[in-house]
C-alpha cells in the first residue's frame, strides 16, 4: 500500500509559542491513523496545516506526493474534513447545501453524486429540511455527505462523534469503516474517544505539547505501557509521571 | 478561474436570500425608507434654499446614489459575515476555491443584493415626489458603476480586516460608510468643507461622483473629467484593496485566524 499522506518535520509557532514541533508521520492508502492527545496538544493545528488553513512555520505536507503549500487548490479538491465545531449554512436545506458544495468542488454529474450519498447516508427524508433544524445525529450525517461530496482520497476527522449518542456514534463508526474499505481512502482521526480509536485504527500517534510522544497500534501501546486499555495509556502519557503515580 | 465554483458560492447566498422573506424585506425596506425621508427633506430645502431652488431632485438623487454605495459595501461585508455567523467559514476555505473566485462571486452577489433594494426605491421616487433619477441620462450608468466599484472596494477592505483581525473587526464594517460620508460631499458642494477635509475628500472618488451628479442636475453640464478621475481613483483603491485581501489571507494562515474565526 502506498502512502497517500506524508508529513515531514512539521512545525508551527505562534510568536514564541510552539504549537507543533517536528511532527512526522504518514498514512497509507486504506488506513485510519488515530491522532490522540489532550486538548491544546496540537492536533487541530496539525489538521489545520494539512487543510491549508494554516501555514507551517517549517516542514512539509505531501498528499499523493504533492506538496500542499504549492498545490493548495489541487489538493483541496481531493481531501475533505469533518468537525462538530464547524457547520453548514443553517438556513439552507440539506439539498441546497449539497448542491452548493458540489458546485464549490466542481463535481461532474453532481445529481448522481448527491443521489449516491443520499442512499448511502439515508438522507432521503431530510433533503428538503432546513439544516439548522436537524438533530445532532442528522446534522452529522449531512456533514458526512458534504465531506464525501468530492469523493475524497484523504478524509480528516476532528472528533467526528463528539456529542453524538452511542447509537448514532456507532452508526458513524460503522459507516466510516465500510466506506474506507470500499474506497481505499486514508483517514486521519483525531479523537478523545479511546474505544473508537481502538476499534477503527491500526496505528495511532500520541501527542503532547506539540510533539509526538509515542506511536504504534493500540494493542502495542497498551502492552508497551503495561496498561489495561488505551484510555489508561492516554492518561499516563498526558499526565506527568508524578500526577499519574 | 472556475465559473462553476463562482456560481456555487453565489448560489449559497442566493438560496439564503430567497428562502427568507424577512431578508428580502430588509433589503427593500431601508432604501425605501431613506428615499422617503430624504424626499421630504429635499422638498423642504427646495422651498427654503436658493442653492437647491428648481432642483428638487438633487438631494433625492444623491440619496439614492449614496444608498446604492452603502448597500453595495455593506452587502459585500454581510456575505462575508454570514459565513462567520453560520460557522461555515472553515468549510468555505477548505473548499478548492481560489481567493479570486471568492471575491468575484461576492462582488456579483453584492450587486444583486443592492439592486433588490435599489429598484423599488427608484420606483418610489416618481409617484411620491415626481422625480426620476433617470434624468441623469446615460451618465447615471457611469455614476452607478463608479459607486459600485467604490462600494466593493470598501467591502473588500473591511473583509480583509475581518480575515486579519477576526469578528472583532465587525463594528468597523458597519461604521466605514458613516465615517466616509462627510468627505463624500454627498449633499453639499466640496467648498463647504474646511480646507484640510477638502484635501482628504479630493483623494476619494466619491466627491467627483456627487459633484458630477449635481453638475448634471443643476447646471445641465457634463464634466467627463470628474467621471474619469473617479474611475481612475477607483482603480487604484480596488487594486490596493485586493492586494490587502490577499495579504490578510496569508497573514490569517500564519496567525491561525481562519481556524478560530467563528469561535
Using the Cβ of A44 and the Cβ atoms of chain B, whether some distance falls under 8 Å is answered with yes
ipTM summary value: 0.88
Q: Which grid coordinates are listed for A135?
A: 438533530
Q: What is the pLDDT of residues A33-55, one digit of tens each?
A: 999 999 889 999 999 999 999 99
- Per the CB < 8 A criterion, the answer to whether A58 and B61 are in contact is no
What's the pLDDT band for A241 if we cut at 50, 70, 90? low
Q: Is the pLDDT of residue A243 over 60?
A: no
Least confidently predicted of A100-114, A228-242, B206-220? A228-242
Name chain A contacts of B86, Cβ cutoff 8 Å: 87-91
Q: Beta-carbon neighbour count of residue B74 at 10 Å?
A: 23
- Tell me, what's the pLDDT at A146? 95
| Per-residue pLDDT, B78 | 84
pLDDT above 70: residue B47: no
* For residues B59-80, average pLDDT: 85
Query: What proportion of chain A, given as a percentage, has pLDDT over 90?
Result: 71
**In contact, B170 and B162? CB cutoff 8 Å:** yes
Got the DSSP string for chain B?
--HHHHHHHHHHHHHHHHH-HHHHHHHHHHHHHHHHHHHHHHHHHHHH-STTTT-THHHHHHHHHHHHHHHHHHHHHHHHHHHHHTT-HHHHHTSS--HHHHHHHHHHHHHHHHHHHHHHHHHHHHHHHS--GGGGTTHHHHHHHHHHHHHHHHHHHHHHHHHHHGGGGHHHHHHHHHHHHHHHTSSS-GGGS-HHHHHHHHTSHHHHHHHHHHIIIII----HHHHHHHHHHHHHHHHHHHHHHHHHHHHHHHHTHHHHTT-
Of the partner residues B19, B89, B259, the one whose CB lies closest to the CB of residue A92:
B19
What CA–CA distances, in Å, run from A190 to A157, A197, A201, A205? Answer: 6, 9, 11, 10
Percent above pLDDT 70 for chain A: 98
Q: What's the mean per-residue pLDDT of chain B?
A: 83
Chain A nearest-CA distance from B72, in A, is 22
* pTM for the structure as a whole: 0.85
Determine contact, residues A33/A188, Cβ cutoff 8 Å.
Answer: yes
* pLDDT-based confidence at residue B50 (cuts at 50, 70, 90): low
Closest CA to A213 of A22, A1, A39, A3: A22
Phi then psi for residue B116, to 5 deg, are -60, -35
pLDDT in tens, B206-226: 999 998 888 888 778 888 999
Report whether pLDDT(B54) > 60. Answer: no
Q: For residue A198, how many other CB atoms are within 10 A of its CB? A: 18
CATH 3.40.50.300 is held by the domain A3-78+152-244: yes
Please name the residue that has the C-alpha cell 508497551: A224
Least confident of A88-102, A174-188, A190-204, B247-261: B247-261
A146 and B CB contact within 8 Å: yes
Quick one: average pLDDT of A174-178?
91
Domain that holds residue B137: 3-260
Q: d(Cα A38, Cα A16) in Å, to the nearest integer?
A: 21
Chain mean pLDDT for chain A: 91
Residue B135 has pLDDT above 80, yes or no: no
CATH 3.40.50.300 in chain A, residue ranges: 3-78+152-244
User: In b/e form, how buried is each residue of B108-121, taking b as 16+ CB within 10 angstroms?
Assistant: bbbbebbbbbbeeb
B254-260: average pLDDT:
83
Residues A186, A154: Cα–Cα separation, whole Å: 5
User: What integer pLDDT is reported at residue B103 of this predicted model?
Assistant: 92
* Chain B interface with A: residues with Cβ < 8 Å: 2, 4-5, 7-9, 11-12, 15-16, 19-20, 82, 86-98, 250, 253-256, 258-259, 262-263
- The span from the CA of A188 to the CA of A201, in Å, is 9
Handedness of CA A103, B248, B113, B85 (dihedral sign): positive
**A63-90 tens-digit pLDDT:** 999 999 999 999 999 999 998 888 899 8
CB contact under 8 A, B253 and A96: no
Distance from CA of B16 to the nearest CA of A (A): 6
Judge whether residue A106 has pLDDT over 90: yes
Number of domains in chain B: 1
Greater confidence (B236 vs B37) lies with B236
A14 touches chain B (CB under 8 A): yes
Q: What pLDDT, on a 0 to 100 scale, did the predictor assign at position A136? A: 85
Instruction: Report in angstroms the alpha-carbon separations of A95 from A151, A179, B85.
Output: 17, 21, 21
- The C-alpha R_g of chain B, in whole angstroms, comes to 19
Instruction: For residue B96, give the nearest of A14, A53, A105 by CB distance.
Output: A105
Which residues of chain A make contact with B95, given a CB cutoff of 8 A? 76, 101, 104-105
Q: Which three cell numbers stand for residue B192?
A: 463647504
Cβ contact, residue pair B9, A87, below 8 Å? no
Flag the least confident range among A26-30, A122-126, A191-195, B45-49.
Answer: B45-49
- pLDDT above 60 (res B52): no
Query: Which of these, A128, A123, A146, A124, lies nearest to A92 by C-alpha position?
Result: A128
pLDDT of residue B44: 59
Whole-angstrom distance, CA of residue A107 vs CA of residue A95: 15
Quote the percentage of chain B above a pLDDT of 90: 25
pLDDT band at B169 (very low <50, low <70, confident <90, very high): confident
B184-215 in b/e form (b: 16+ CB < 10 A) is bbbbeebeebeeeebeebeebbbbbbbbbbbb
Give yes or no for residue B155 having a pLDDT over 70. yes
Is the pLDDT assigned to residue B263 strictly greater than 50?
A: no
Amino acid at each position: 500500500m502506498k502512502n497517500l499522506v506524508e508529513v515531514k518535520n512539521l512545525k508551527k509557532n505562534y510568536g514564541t509559542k510552539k504549537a507543533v514541533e517536528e511532527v512526522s508521520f504518514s498514512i497509507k492508502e486504506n488506513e485510519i491513523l488515530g491522532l490522540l492527545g489532550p486538548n491544546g496538544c496540537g492536533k487541530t493545528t496539525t489538521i489545520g496545516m494539512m487543510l491549508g488553513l494554516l501555514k507551517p512555520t517549517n516542514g512539509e505536507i505531501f498528499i499523493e506526493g504533492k506538496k500542499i503549500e504549492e498545490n493548495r487548490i489541487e489538493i483541496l479538491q481531493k481531501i475533505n474534513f469533518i468537525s462538530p465545531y464547524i457547520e453548514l449554512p443553517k438556513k439552507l436545506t440539506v439539498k441546497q447545501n449539497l448542491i452548493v458544495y458540489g458546485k464549490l468542488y466542481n463535481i461532474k454529474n453532481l445529481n448522481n453524486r448527491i443521489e449516491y450519498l443520499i442512499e448511502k447516508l439515508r438522507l432521503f427524508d431530510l433533503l428538503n429540511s432546513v439544516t439548522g433544524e436537524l438533530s445532532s445525529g442528522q446534522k452529522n450525517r449531512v456533514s458526512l455527505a458534504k465531506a464525501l461530496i468530492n469523493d475524497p482520497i484523504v478524509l480528516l476527522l476532528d472528533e467526528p462523534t463528539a456529542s453524538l449518542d452511542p447509537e448514532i456514534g456507532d452508526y458513524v463508526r460503522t459507516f466510516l469503516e465500510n466506506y474506507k474499505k470500499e474506497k481505499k481512502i486514508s483517514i486521519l482521526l483525531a479523537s478523545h474517544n479511546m474505544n473508537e480509536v481502538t476499534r477503527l485504527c491500526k496505528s495511532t500517534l500520541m501527542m503532547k505539547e506539540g510533539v509526538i510522544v509515542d506511536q504504534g497500534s493500540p494493542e502495542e501501546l497498551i502492552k508497551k505501557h503495561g496498561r489495561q486499555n488505551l484510555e489508561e495509556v492516554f492518561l499516563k502519557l498526558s499526565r506527568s509521571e508524578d500526577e499519574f503515580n | 478561474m472556475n465559473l462553476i465554483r463562482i456560481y456555487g458560492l453565489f448560489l449559497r447566498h442566493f438560496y439564503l436570500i430567497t428562502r427568507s422573506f424577512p431578508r428580502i424585506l430588509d433589503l427593500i425596506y431601508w432604501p425605501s425608507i431613506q428615499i422617503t425621508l430624504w424626499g421630504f427633506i429635499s422638498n423642504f430645502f427646495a422651498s427654503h434654499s436658493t442653492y437647491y431652488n428648481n432642483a428638487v431632485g438633487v438631494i433625492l438623487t444623491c440619496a439614492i446614489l449614496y444608498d446604492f454605495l452603502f448597500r453595495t459595501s455593506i452587502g459585500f461585508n454581510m456575505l462575508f459575515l454570514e459565513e462567520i455567523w453560520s460557522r461555515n467559514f472553515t468549510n468555505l476555505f477548505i473548499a478548492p476555491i481560489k481567493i479570486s473566485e471568492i471575491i468575484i462571486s461576492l462582488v456579483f452577489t453584492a450587486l444583486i443584493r443592492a439592486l433588490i433594494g435599489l429598484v423599488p426605491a427608484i420606483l418610489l421616487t416618481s409617484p411620491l415626489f415626481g422625480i426620476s433619477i433617470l434624468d441623469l441620462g446615460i451618465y447615471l450608468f457611469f455614476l452607478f458603476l463608479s459607486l459600485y466599484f467604490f462600494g466593493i472596494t470598501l467591502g473588500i477592505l473591511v473583509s480583509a480586516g475581518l480575515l486579519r483581525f477576526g469578528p472583532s473587526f465587525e463594528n468597523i464594517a458597519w461604521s466605514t460608510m458613516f465615517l466616509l460620508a462627510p468627505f463624500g460631499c454627498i449633499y453639499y458642494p466640496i467648498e463647504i468643507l474646511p480646507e484640510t477635509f477638502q484635501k482628504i475628500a479630493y483623494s476619494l472618488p466619491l466627491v467627483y461622483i456627487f459633484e458630477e451628479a449635481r453638475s448634471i442636475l443643476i447646471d445641465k453640464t457634463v464634466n467627463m473629467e470628474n467621471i474619469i478621475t473617479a474611475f481612475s481613483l477607483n482603480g487604484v483603491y480596488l487594486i490596493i484593496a485586493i492586494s490587502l485581501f490577499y495579504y490578510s489571507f496569508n497573514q490569517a494562515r500564519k496567525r491561525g485566524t481562519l481556524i478560530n474565526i467563528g469561535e
